[in-house]
Chain A
Amino acid sequence: MVKPPFSQEEFLDTYGPTLHYAPPGGFSSVEDYDALVDTHCCFCGQQCGIKLKVKNNAIVGFEPRYDFPFNKGKLCPKGIKRYLQGSHPDRLLHPMRRTEHGYQQITWDEALSETVTKIQEIQAKYGRNSFAMLSGVSLTNEKSYLVGKFARLALQTANLDYNGRLCMVSAGAGNKKAYGIDRASNHWEDITEAKVIFIIGTNIAECFPITTDYIWRARDKGAKIIYADPRMVPMARTADLYLPLRCGSDSALLMSMLHVIIRDGLTDEAFIEAHTTGFGDVRAAVADATPKWAAEITGVPAAKIEQAARWYGEAETGMILHARGLEHQVKGVENVMSCANLALATGKIGKPGCGHSTITGQGNGQGGREHGHKCDQLPGNRDITNPEHRKYICEVWGITDEELPGKGITAQEILNEIHEGKIKGLLSICFNPLVSLPDANFNREALNKLEHYSVIDFFLSETAQHADIVLPGSLQEEDEGTTTSGEGRVIKINAPVTPPGEARRDWEILLDIAGRLGRGKYFQFNNTQEIFNELRLASRGGTADYSGITWEKIVDTQGIFWPCPQTTDEGKVTMHSEHLDDRHPGTPRLYEGGKFYHPDGKAHFNAVNWRESAEVVDDEYPIWFTTGRVVSQYLSGSQTRRIGPLVDQFPHPKLELHPRMAKQLKIKTDDWVTIQTRRGEVIIQANVVNTIRPDTVFMAYHWGGKQSANLLTQRALDPISKIPEYKVSACRVRLASPEEQAEGERTQFLSSRTEKNLPAGYNLAERRKELRR
């Protein structure tokens, strides 16, 4: 089908986004609740502990969870208002079929029959891999594992990938190359023991707010902070050393810092000799990477680069933290390996206060990437191309090697093949690629070419609007399971309420489809705990080993850090999860004693040479364009753009630009501007701030439609991780014409509806003014 069967205004009235403000039953119910249930916030990889207030099978509010050790009651605005996604007026309550006249309510039986018939038709006609599945890592570990098994054994397709592909795959690939395992190196408590913290490409205050406290606790003990970012983000404001590097120049800065460390004799030769391989190549690769050379590329003064290198090299202990700024590049893996080279050359890893961690962005970004819903991976972070790994999983699943599909293609490549007409059918869950993948116009064309698309979602997201069959699924608080936080801590998600209306739990929907495809014998689960127990068995012996973790143990200890392997002989060979033991205490800190996870037990240096980004500025597109987040929104905004108080905090995307550029372009704050790249254009309002490099503009990416930053970004991928280059594009900016401004205003007007029937005296206008000022 070509387009959603509604005008935009009609669509808004029915499916939102509606800005939701009041808990069910109104505000009076808030101190009147039946239960306070321990669980976690679903809105980033830190997975803060939270208590939800429950009354009459609905979430009515929150209370800080002071006893959870990671955040001790602390929350960002998303955590506080997350409860408003429950009882939301936009919630999908029954299965739907899209017709030319609108969405038609159908029964579950009709919806699933049609989905299954289409899967079978398309696979019979074009081959099994012509039906693809897209998944996401806001799902629990149980559901992530289930999706991996479902795609391989029920759909029998190789083409399964997930939205972690847009999140932390560069870090995952870089970590595996350097250390042989993919996890943040330390539990966060170790940050407080560091004497120097080098932060590059992560807006910690807005994307991982609770982490700011760990950094301040280190600073209170005398730690120095080095902050590298093209924007002076809130934490960079107080940094001891701020390096305003040009976007895309990270590896030049990192190479140059290593050059200085080697030149000044700050390497830990004993550590390098005993615990690593490949330093000779790295030494040669950075031989010419002088600070003067790097200064020209990065725009950071050479003296500051020297200072950063010496502070990091000389300090007794040190941590490196990074996130998408450094990873969302065609050099993402190289940048991560460059950070690892710094940590390894100075021996700053595997000790208290020493480590190198990516900060995972998505709710279950860490756990979701371990159990097999990546196209190249099997449970336990196993490699789908490795015969031994395949053999073990085949044994657990009770299948032969021929029945297990091979390596598929990655998320953006799946959209590319849909566009080419090679992939004809799609089932997706927990993924909103129309907002979150780059080059949105291209992806919209692709979705319109599908012969069949079924979606499992709880709101009708921008992407779900293109689906033929809509299957209403569950929110985090409606389905029990576990997730793994950014520090590698496996934690318990509780489900105090059931899905509303006819909506069903995601795992039940998948099991139903598997049964209808005649593959039910592989999916004999009565609850998600049984799925977890099979996951334990399937992960045993892999690098991400969960076999020694039980739900009960997680609850008793406030979370277990993997790897948590078997300790008994029986546990190491049994094929029955009930025989697995749970004695291992977990591993908060990796690499202690210089033990790494490569077969040789050593860490590997990886030489990186400087190269440019996929697109660089030129006369036609002279300005660097970069993207990121704001604190009150999460990912593609499918959930948070429906929560009124969060939207009021940052209602629409704005273009940040420096006063010097603004003066040249005659732009003032709140002027409407048009931003153009080779992919598309966006019309939004300007925010003139001197906290950004004067050669760079910034826009947050949480919005869809004409307000989407990903209309501008490019589909260039990292050759190893296949992460798209969101953070570096070339654009041009000018004042919008009156016609364009009118269009921009109309787009803003049509971006959401405010909830009707707000309680008397709520005084929304005042509330909005307060939050926005």
Chain B
Amino acid sequence: MSDFRFFVDPIRCIGCKACMQACSECDTHKGKSMIHLEYIERGASTQTAPMVCMHCDLPTCAAVCPADAIKRTEDGVVQSSQAPRCIGCSNCVNACPFGVPRYYPEIDQMLKCDMCYDRTSVGKKPMCASVCPSEALFYGTLEEFQSRRGGKPQNSFQFGAQTITTKVFLVLPDGEMGLDMDVISHMDARFEPDAFDHLDPFAHLELLPMEQPQTLRGRL
């Protein structure tokens, strides 16, 4: 089994989408990107989060598949659905705790990240981790990661009563414990009209000349 591991470090992500553009070049899913990248909340931050398949040791997607179309290789890579078996039911799409698999109606099949099996199985790096300018996506051994970089790689996650361990590591910032996925902490900024203020990095600034509304109102 390969010693190479995949690390996702969202702190370093610059949101450039090179990973998505490179992934979409693969001839097995030409034009489609199997990696996803999202702004957490563009209004409040330039923080973005890339998401590859985490390649669970006991993949939920495979467990819920009624057609047994999702296979895990000996070296722990969970594959896209097998075309002859996939019935397009989207059970896996709904069940994956990381939200990774996608159903593509044009081919009536689920596709997802298979860690560039065509590349990694012959010793090459996955495409997204090859091109990532900031190494927010990093492919190498755990030792190599730890000798070079800060941050805490973690591959055990708690979803309710379900504990999931994965082949892919998520890197947490130094000094923070655990992986808080409490949705509530993300909510107030979205739903309160003035809630951006508590995140305002410019709160120390004087009010602006334009604070006198009449200078602008005249033009509205």
Which residues of A come within 8 Å of B, CB atoms?
21-22, 27-28, 30-31, 61-62, 64, 66, 73-77, 79-81, 205-206, 209-210, 212-213, 216-217, 219-220, 232-235, 237-238, 242, 244, 299, 301, 617, 619-620, 622-623, 631-632, 645-646, 649, 658-661, 664-666, 669, 687-691, 693-695, 732, 734-735, 759, 761-763, 767, 770-771, 773
Contact = CB atoms under 8 A, between A and B. Distances in A.
Contacts of A664: 210-211, 213, 216
Interface stretch (B29-37, B73-81, B178-186): B29-37
A661 B18 contact: no
Nearest to A767: B31
A212 B12 CA distance: 9
A761 B42 contact: no
A695 B205 CA distance: 10
Interface in B177-220: 196-197, 199-202, 204-206, 208-211, 213, 215-216, 219-220
Nearest to A763: B106
Contact of B215 (A234, A619, A694): A619
A136 B24 CA distance: 32
B208 A205 contact: no
A649 B17 contact: yes
Contacts of A660: 197, 200
16 contacts: A62-B25, A66-B130, A73-B125, A77-B17, A80-B21, A217-B148, A238-B12, A623-B210, A649-B17, A659-B200, A664-B210, A689-B43, A759-B31, A763-B31, A763-B106, A767-B24
B149 A690 contact: no
A213 B15 CA distance: 14
A78 to B, nearest CB: 9
Consensus secondary structure, chain B interface: loop
B46 interface: yes
Nearest to B132: A74
Given A30-B27, A234-B46, A299 B205 contact: yes
Given A209-B134, A645-B24, A735 B220 contact: yes
B88 interface: no
B21 A694 contact: no
Contacts of A761: 106-107
Contacts of A771: 17, 20-21, 33
Contacts of A64: 125, 127, 130-131
Contacts of B196: 659, 690
Given A75-B131, A660-B200, A691 B45 contact: yes
B98 interface: no
B14 A75 contact: no
A688 B190 CA distance: 13
Interface in B133-172: 133-135, 148-150
A685 B38 CA distance: 21
Given A30-B30, A73-B125, A690-B199, A617 B209 contact: yes
Given A216-B134, A645-B24, 16 more contacts: A22-B31, A31-B27, A74-B133, A80-B25, A205-B133, A212-B12, A213-B133, A213-B135, A232-B46, A234-B14, A234-B15, A661-B210, A666-B220, A690-B43, A763-B106, A773-B38
B216 to A, nearest CB: 7
A205 B136 CA distance: 12
A232 B133 contact: no
B1 to A, nearest CB: 23
Contacts of B13: 234
Given A64-B131, A80-B131, A210-B133, A690 B201 contact: yes
Given A74-B131, A210-B133, A695-B210, A81 B33 contact: no
Contact of A659 (B32, B33, B43): B43
A767 B32 contact: yes
Contacts of B47: 237
A649 to B, nearest CB: 6
B17 A75 contact: no
Nearest to B214: A619
A471 to B, nearest CB: 32
Contact of A693 (B45, B48, B125, B202): B202
A666 B219 CA distance: 13
A235 B135 contact: no
B44 interface: yes
B63 interface: no
A575 to B, nearest CB: 45
B16 interface: yes
A7 to B, nearest CB: 32
Contacts of B210: 622-623, 661, 664, 695
A76 B16 contact: yes
Nearest to A295: B204
Given A74-B132, A212-B12, A27 B31 contact: yes
Nearest to A30: B27
A620 B209 CA distance: 11
B21 A622 contact: no
A689 B127 CA distance: 32
B54 interface: no
B42 A622 contact: no
A252 B88 CA distance: 62
Contacts of B14: 205-206, 209, 212, 234-235, 631
Contact of B205 (A81, A232, A693): A693
Contacts of A234: 13-15, 46, 48
Contacts of A219: 150
B53 interface: no
Contacts of B31: 21-22, 27, 759, 762-763, 767
A457 B48 CA distance: 37
Most buried by A among B17, B22, B38: B17
Given A27-B30, A619-B215, A770 B46 contact: no
B83 interface: no
A115 to B, nearest CB: 39
B44 to A, nearest CB: 6
B46 A213 contact: no
A645 B38 contact: no
B40 to A, nearest CB: 11
Nearest to B149: A220
B207 to A, nearest CB: 9
Contact of A734 (B15, B107, B211, B219): B219
Contact of A694 (B15, B32, B127, B205): B205
Nearest to A244: B202
A81 B134 contact: no
Contacts of A623: 210
Contacts of A73: 125, 130-131
A212 B46 CA distance: 15
Nearest to A238: B11
Contacts of A617: 209
Nearest to B44: A690
A233 B14 CA distance: 9
Given A220-B150, A687-B42, A232 B201 contact: yes
Contacts of B199: 690
A407 B58 CA distance: 72
Contacts of A735: 220
B114 to A, nearest CB: 16
Contacts of A690: 43-44, 196, 199-202
Nearest to A48: B133
Nearest to A733: B216
9 interchain residue pairs of minimum CB distance: A205-B14, A27-B30, A209-B133, A212-B134, A77-B21, A234-B14, A659-B196, A622-B210, A761-B106
A233 to B, nearest CB: 7
A407 B54 CA distance: 62
A763 B111 CA distance: 14
A75 B22 contact: yes
A619 B219 CA distance: 12
Contacts of B32: 763, 767
Given A75-B22, A659-B196, A622 B148 contact: no
Nearest to A687: B42
A619 B212 CA distance: 9
Contacts of B200: 659-660, 690, 694
